[in-house]
Amino acid sequence: MNIAVTGAGSGIGRSIAEILAKHGYSLILLGRNLDNLQSTKSLLKNSERHQCRTCDIRNSAEIKRSLENVSSLYGLIANAGIGGENQFGDQDRWHEVIDTNLTGTYQTIQACLPLIKKDRAPFKKIIIISSILARLGVPGYSAYCASKAGLLGLTRSLAAEYSGDGILINALCPGWVNTEMAHEGLQGFADALDISKDEAYKEAMKPVPLGKMSEPEEVAKLVAFLVSEEQISFTGQTLDINNGALMP
- 29: β partners: 5, 52
Q: How many CB atoms lie within 10 A of CB 213?
A: 22
- 169: β partners: 126
Residue 144 annotated among the catalytic residues of the structure: yes
CA 228 to centroid of chain Cα atoms: 17
Q: Is 188 helix (H, G, I), strand (E, B) or coil?
A: helix
- Could you give the angle at the alpha carbon of 189 between the alpha carbons of 186 and 194, nearest 5°? 120
Choosing from 106, 141, 144, 201, the catalytic residue is 144
- 4: β partners: 28, 76
Active-site positions? 144
